[in-house]
Structure 1
Amino acid sequence: MDIKYFPITFITEKSDIENQISNSVVFAELFKTNQTTNLKYYLESTQYGYTASALPGGTHKLVRITDIKANGVDWDSVPFCNCENDKKFLLKKNDILITRTGGTVGKSFIVKDCPEKSVYASYLIRLRLNEKAKIDFINMFLNSYLFWNQIFDLKSGAAIPNVNAEKLKEIKIPLCTLEEQVEILSNKLFFEKKNRVNILYNLSYQNSIELNNQSEIIKNLRQAFLREAMQGKLVNNETSDGKTGVDLLLEIQTEKEKLIKEKKIKKSKPLPPISDDEIPFEIPENWTWCRLGELIDLVSGASFSSNSFAKNEGVKCIKITNAGVNEFIETDEYLPKDFLEKYTSNVVYHNDLILALTRPYISKGLKISKCPLSYDRSLLNQRVAALRVNNRLNNDFVFFVMKSDFILNIYKSKFKGIGQQPNLKNDDVNFLTFPLPPLDIQNRIVSKLNELMKHCDDLERSVIESQNYNEQLLQQVLREALEGKDEVENENLKLVAEDSPMYSVSKDIQKNCDTGDMAILAGYIIKKLSTQNSKDFGRVKLQKMLHLVEYHCQLSSELKYQKNVAGPHAWELEHVIEPKLKSLRFFEIKKDKFGATSKVTYTPLSASNELTSLFNREFKDQAESINNLLNKFQDKTWEFCERISTMYAVWNNRLIRKELFTDEILKQDFLAWDDKKKRFIDVLDHTLEWIRKEKIEPVGFGEYIDKK
């Protein structure tokens, strides 16, 4: 039998899936060693359920599909029905109920206990076993992929999945005596094989969880870029002509007034002024806050009769089903061509923004998209709106703002706790507060966001490819394992932190360092690196070099590194090591402030001349490897050191925890370290290449670096 793993929508708990896989191993072996029979061999009878409406009171309890939960049936909440002839439908202990239709087709439930007068609804089939079967043996089979693969075959091609009693009875099952069934249920058979297959599943599961986390990181990264753009922090806000957002708004208003006077457009109702409470964040001085309705024309949809629609030709129609999250979903819905002349106020053009008014957002975000060229001059159906952006604005800038969590959260807050489906009115769109920069800055922002979003798209594409590959790999290894192959070749699901030519792990400590040793090491690093670029050398660079030297050269010290904005950071440097540098007369340490930033400088004192000899004496066995590492950073800036140190840390963290990773995962870990790391997004590939080229890959040494 061809056995395939596939996700079952109503089996989602990891432990339940592991149980299904373990059961599958057992029955895969039994199909090879035992004769095959049909399920009816073990059945006394099958019976469809009773057709009746649920009532608050009646003669019998009526258990339905919806009453069967993962932890059983709460009989107190099961409704009643009136059943005069109940002989065929009465339930008793160890009856098995199987759903025969709907999204849970094939799901089984063993009746352990029930009220004396209990029957079951018509969408269920009751199996009653004969003396040849142990209930737990049949239950094990009904919860294995050997059963599900046959159910899947039965329901394939059906518009509404369903299984009837006759088909159920013909399902193939191994022929086992009662004695064999008892031995199978002892859980002693095929233990090693079950364990091996579950290990493979768990590796794939860990990989899947990690990839899902990476998808969430990318989603958050997109929103971080949008937040910076909306707050005027993404690009330079200077303009060549000195124009402001207020100037732009006045131009739009003047143009509208002119068109109203010329009777080319109708005067719209005035929009309320923006209160201080509606302003969520500060924007640059040359921007302004306005209402979205001042920048767009809102096109409403018409109510078309269902008889008007066709599937093949005519004018395309945009319905609420076309309104996706950030993407337009194309369908085959057409209206008569002459409707274009009849419904002129409902015509939509290429690049109009399409917004769902009913259920405007889902878990993925706001249902806002751009009308594609293929839908130019289409007609808009009811419960969808088109936002036609004023031609003095950058259409994509407005689209980016509408895609941001700023807009989504306004709507979520508005409809929070209403207990009904959200429905937007025109005012809910027109009254939105909107940050408006001059056109030059809009263009600059759109150009930068397009560049950044492309990076996110590339990362996301890589994650999706990995997810698809992981799924294919899981299919392969489970099929091979269930079909009885002793060894499953699957390097992609191995833990990369296990010994391999590419990723060796080393925990050996080369030297235990006290605070005196670390002061000498810190002083030596300052002396060696600050001579090349004294203006660039400060505490940030020293922190990163200490981290890299300690972890890469495998030194053990009292420095406790934690996540900080600029990378790995040890509190002890400033509060323990630097005081020693001063007391030992190695360096004078001074902190200068420059506005919001500061810089620490190290000025050599008399004893600094002794640092080289002290270093060579205290680190005589490690001096060569430390110098080799420091030489690679002689001409590097503090930002370069920050970048290498942070990438080294996220890579090393994964080795320490023996976690799966790829280059894309490392890059996403880097970006997730801190929001300010996204300024390095363009150079992350170079960062990984440089680490490999210089042969300073981490080896899993040291402590895991995490937040405080």
Structure 2
Amino acid sequence: MSEELRELPEGWEWATLGALLLNIQYGYTASATDQPTGVKFLRITDLQNNFVDWETVPFCNCSEIAKYQLSEGDIVIARTGATTGKSFLLKKIPETTVFASYLIRLHTSSLYPPEYLALFMQSADYWQQITTVSKGTAQPGANASILSQLIIPVPPVKEQKQIIAKIEELNDRTQRAKEALDSIPQLCDRFRQSVLAAAFRGDLTADWREQNPDVESPFELIERIYKLRKQQYEKDCIEVCKQGKKQLRKPSNLKPQIRDSEYLIEIPESWFWSSFEDISSIKQYAMSSGPFGSALGTKDYKDSGIPVIRGQNIQNGKFLLSNFVYVSEEKALELSRSTAYPGDIVIVAVGSSGQAALVPDSLHRAILSQNCNKFTVDKLFVDPKFIVLSLQNEIAKSQMQEKTTDTVRQFLSLTNLKSTLFPIPPLNEQHEIVKRVEILFGLISQIQNQHKKVESDLVKINQSILAKAFQGELVPQNPDDEPASVLLERIRAEREKLNNSKPKSRGTSKGKSKTSQGQVSIPGLE
């Protein structure tokens, strides 16, 4: 053995994997079928998270069932691809099953519990060896000869059983902790929706309204906004006239409306329902969609220039400043009606329909892709952050779902978005809602970050348990236990007896021979 191997407790031995096996065998080559004919056919893809769903395992017609039939106590290992080294211990096999050619079957001896070997194959020591032997090739892989030379610490059989029992006991505890942790993301999502529901029916700021009773009524607010917009529109018309340009079209939302809502949600008296169109600015292209058809495509993308906002930049109310593509300044000018600026609300129209986020201040100017819509809201009327939060609430989400056309890909058009209704509080109350929601969302983020850390810690704990187990530190040693060297000798004798009982092959090559189709005799396993 290598001088680099650590010292083991008394009674333990270092051994190769081959020294612990009766044989190693490659699987059967056949085509899988979902038709219930022949026998079950276990493949690499059927091994998922140390589990096999036998209902989904396909079938195959096998002419040599006896040679490839799996038995309880066998361990199968993936020998190629990204899952090289992934293993599975067969404890219960519901019906006759053979294994596919990209798997290797380890036939273990009944002289020791196969669970010990299966647990070692989950340890960092095992995976370090697998990584070492499979790296440096275009396609990761480990053949039977390589696997047979993996080094394993072997304790006495009695201690192996104690180690298995202790690991299972500790794993039960960590599994219970994991199951409790698994419920946290869903609880966080439910809490987030509860916060939004309370915010947009007025419960979250009930105390604020008590302390601030003197606010504009909805009708007063609408009239004030109308007067301001009308003044701005008239001013813009005069300016255009002076420049000798074409008369401006009258904005469709010049006078915002108080809308009737079919949504039976009681809101405070100082609130009212209004549409996306009503709350948008009257500026030209305040409500716009991305370029139509072939006006913008991959042919226009550059390595630098004006960034293009795509659906992947919008995620869970956040704007992701990454993975941009760009267009030239000339192309951006050509697509000026689809320009977005800081503070604009961008809504994904295709795929993740309804996902929305604010364009950040750091993005001075960008072009919408075909799958995005944009709204520039009237900041005298609404806080854009309030509207982005509203779009995450079930009231808005259900409306957008209804307005999404079910084509080959779901599509949320600008026209349909304009009629989306929001409960609108006074502007100062909107600011207060945004502040309170962001505080509560911040707490949720802290919980989620802590959840990720604890999940990572659980993985480390499980690996630490395995490390201690295979260093002889998990359970106490008993000097009266039969040493591992005796076990290894018994396995060798059992393997030799098994090999001698088989008919000899003719014309075997030096060092390695196939004793039967798919079964390999490895030096050191004779």
Question: Is 1:321 matched up with 2:312?
Answer: yes
Give, in angstroms, the shift of residue 339 of structure 1: 1.8
Partner residue, 2:513:
none
Give, in angstroms, the shift of residue 463 of structure 1: 3.0
Number of residue pairs aligned between Structure 1 and Structure 2: 439
8 Å contact from structure 2 (residues 345, 375) kept in 1: yes
User: Structure 1 residues 301, 61: closer, same or farther in 2, change over 3 A?
Assistant: farther
Give, in angstroms, the shift of residue 340 of structure 1: 0.8
Question: Is 1:283 matched up with 2:267?
Answer: yes
Q: What SS does structure 2 have at the residue aligned with 1:351?
A: coil
Q: What SS does structure 2 have at the residue aligned with 1:350?
A: coil
Equivalent residue for 1:388, pick from 368, 376, 379: 376
Question: Is 1:424 matched up with 2:412?
Answer: yes
8 Å contact from structure 1 (residues 125, 165) kept in 2: no
Partner residue, 1:519:
none
8 Å contact from structure 2 (residues 274, 421) kept in 1: yes
Partner residue, 2:327:
336
Output the CA distance in 1 between the equivalents of 2:166 and 2:71.
34
Give, in angstroms, the shift of residue 323 of structure 1: 0.9
Question: Is 1:47 matched up with 2:26?
Answer: yes
Partner residue, 1:617:
none
Give, in angstroms, the shift of residue 325 of structure 1: 0.5
User: Structure 1 residues 81, 213: closer, same or farther in 2, change over 3 A?
Assistant: closer
Partner residue, 2:104:
126
Question: Is 1:247 matched up with 2:227?
Answer: no
User: Structure 1 residues 479, 244: closer, same or farther in 2, change over 3 A?
Assistant: same
- 1:85-120 CA-to-partner distances (Å, cap 9, x unmatched) read 879994433453334545797152528547668553
Give, in angstroms, the shift of residue 390 of structure 1: 3.0
Equivalent residue for 1:92, pick from 44, 50, 70: 70
- 1:293-350 CA-to-partner distances (Å, cap 9, x unmatched) read 3333433223643344345x22212111111112111213232323212222222211
5+ unaligned residues in a row in structure 2: which ranges? 1-5, 241-245, 281-285, 476-526
User: Structure 1 residues 351, 154: closer, same or farther in 2, change over 3 A?
Assistant: farther
Partner residue, 1:360:
352
Q: What SS does structure 2 have at the residue aligned with 1:219?
A: helix
Partner residue, 2:357:
369
8 Å contact from structure 1 (residues 246, 287) kept in 2: no
Which letter maps to 1:346? S
Output the CA distance in 2 between the equivalents of 1:293 and 1:49.
65
Partner residue, 2:88:
108
Output the CA distance in 1 between the equivalents of 2:85 and 2:226.
62
Equivalent residue for 1:305, pick from 280, 297, 319: 297
8 Å contact from structure 1 (residues 103, 161) kept in 2: no
Output the CA distance in 2 between the equivalents of 1:159 and 1:293.
59
Partner residue, 2:440:
456
Partner residue, 1:665:
none
Question: Is 1:164 matched up with 2:142?
Answer: yes
8 Å contact from structure 1 (residues 316, 333) kept in 2: yes
After TM superposition, the structure 1 = structure 2 runs for residues 419-498 of structure 1, keeping only pairs within 5 Å, are 422-437=410-425, 441-442=426-427, 444-460=428-444, 462-464=446-448, 466-467=450-451, 470=454, 474=458, 482-483=467-468
Instruction: Give the TM-score normalised by the residue count of structure 1.
Output: 0.50
Larger mean Cα displacement after TM superposition, 289-298 or 215-224: 215-224
User: Structure 1 residues 412, 334: closer, same or farther in 2, change over 3 A?
Assistant: closer
Instruction: Give the TM-score normalised by the residue count of structure 2.
Output: 0.64
Output the CA distance in 2 between the equivalents of 1:410 and 1:242.
23
- 1:192-230 CA-to-partner distances (Å, cap 9, x unmatched) read 7875x5597479658847966874575256325522449
- 1:559-602 CA-to-partner distances (Å, cap 9, x unmatched) read xxxxxxxxxxxxxxxxxxxxxxxxxxxxxxxxxxxxxxxxxxxx
Point out the structure with the larger helix share: 1
User: Structure 1 residues 243, 126: closer, same or farther in 2, change over 3 A?
Assistant: same
Question: Structure with the greater relative contact order (CA < 8 A, sep ≥ 6): 1 or 2?
Answer: 2
8 Å contact from structure 2 (residues 344, 375) kept in 1: yes
Output the CA distance in 2 between the equivalents of 1:143 and 1:229.
56
8 Å contact from structure 2 (residues 308, 369) kept in 1: yes
8 Å contact from structure 1 (residues 97, 111) kept in 2: no
Output the CA distance in 2 between the equivalents of 1:155 and 1:424.
52
Question: Is 1:406 matched up with 2:395?
Answer: yes
- 1:647-693 CA-to-partner distances (Å, cap 9, x unmatched) read xxxxxxxxxxxxxxxxxxxxxxxxxxxxxxxxxxxxxxxxxxxxxxx
8 Å contact from structure 2 (residues 163, 474) kept in 1: no
5+ unaligned residues in a row in structure 1: which ranges? 1-27, 488-708
Output the CA distance in 2 between the equivalents of 1:411 and 1:471.
35
8 Å contact from structure 1 (residues 326, 367) kept in 2: yes
Larger mean Cα displacement after TM superposition, 330-339 or 462-471: 462-471
Give, in angstroms, the shift of residue 34 of structure 1: 2.2
Give the RMSD, CA atoms, in angstroms: 5.2
8 Å contact from structure 2 (residues 351, 410) kept in 1: yes
8 Å contact from structure 2 (residues 202, 267) kept in 1: no
Output the CA distance in 2 between the equivalents of 1:107 and 1:277.
58
Which letter maps to 1:292? F
User: Structure 1 residues 146, 469: closer, same or farther in 2, change over 3 A?
Assistant: closer
Output the CA distance in 2 between the equivalents of 1:397 and 1:90.
64
8 Å contact from structure 2 (residues 89, 118) kept in 1: no
8 Å contact from structure 2 (residues 76, 88) kept in 1: yes
Output the CA distance in 2 between the equivalents of 1:199 and 1:36.
29
